[in-house]
Structure 1
Amino acid sequence: MVDWTHFTPESALTGGLMIGLACALLWLLNGRIAGISGITAGTFTNSGPERQWRLAFVLGLVLSSWLWLMLAPLPVTEVTGNYGLLAAAGLLVGIGARLGSGCTSGHGVCGLARLSVRSLVATLTFMGVAVVTVFIVRHLL
Structure 2
Amino acid sequence: MTLDWSGFTPIPALLGGALIGLAAALLLLALGRIAGISGIVGGLLRRPDRAETPWRLAFVLGLGLAPLAWTLVAALPPPRIAADTPTLVAAGLLVGFGARLGSGCTSGHGVCGLSRLSPRSLAATLTFMATGFLTVFAVRHLI
Quick one: percent identity of the two aligned structures? 61
| C-alpha distance in structure 2 between counterparts of 1:63 and 1:90, whole Å | 18
**Which of 96, 111, 131 lines up with 1:129 in the alignment?**
131
- 1:49-128 matched pairs, under 5 angstroms: 49-128=51-130
Letter in 1 for 2:25: A
Q: CA deviation at 1:49?
A: 1.6
Q: CA deviation at 1:76?
A: 4.0
The count of corresponding residues between Structure 1 and Structure 2 is 141
Give RMSD over aligned pairs: 1.4
Q: Deviations over 1:89-129 (max 9, x none)?
A: 22111101001100001100010011110000000000111
Q: CA deviation at 1:84?
A: 2.4
| C-alpha distance in structure 1 between counterparts of 2:64 and 2:88, whole Å | 18
With the length of structure 2 as denominator, give the TM-score of the two structures: 0.91
- Runs of 4+ in structure 1 off by over 4 angstroms are none
Q: Deviations over 1:32-87 (max 9, x none)?
A: 11001110121122131211110110001111122213421224422123442332
Helix, strand or coil: the match of 1:54? helix
CA separation of 1:69 and 1:81: change in aligned 2, threshold 3 A = closer
Any unmatched runs of 5+ in structure 1? Answer: none
